[in-house]
Amino acid sequence: MRENVSDPASPFPFPIRTECPPGACVCERDRVMADPQADHRPLALTRQQEQKLVERIERIESYADLQHVQALIQKNLGARLRVEPGPNEVRTVRGIIVVLEEKPGLCKKARQAVPSAVRRRLHERPDIAWALLDAHDLFGGQAG
């Protein structure tokens, strides 16, 4: 399968993600493509762009850099990447909630690959996880 790079029938001025096999995804791609008022940004996340995003996430060096990537995802895809401490005690990276929120047109594979890449990076760089916890007031600001 190839990305829709130069398909003259495409109503979009950018390449769009190829359609997933029937039943494999619930992204509502066809509905988004048919609605001229819909947010079409998620369709621009082709498999190649998804891989670039995952590679960028794997290069995150600080909590500020993570926030920058979150802002870029929000701006370019219209989807929010939530990275926050879970409701229970956080003992490992698994206690941190990492979710790329659902957005019509955003493939299920991307919604799985992006959080997985963030978790891997947090595991590799625990200082980023600690900064995240500190930003949510779990380390500092407690009266003793």
Full pLDDT tens readout for the chain, 144 residues: 344 444 445 667 778 888 877 777 788 888 888 888 989 999 889 999 999 999 999 999 999 999 999 999 999 999 999 999 887 766 677 788 999 999 999 999 999 999 999 999 999 999 999 999 888 875 554 433
Alpha carbon separation from 132 to 65, 95, 140 (Å, rounded): 11, 12, 11
- CA 8 – CA 81 distance, rounded (Å): 33
- CA 57 – CA 97 distance, rounded (Å): 16
Cα distance from N-terminal residue to C-terminal residue, the chain: 60
Distance of CA 82 to the CA centre of its chain: 8
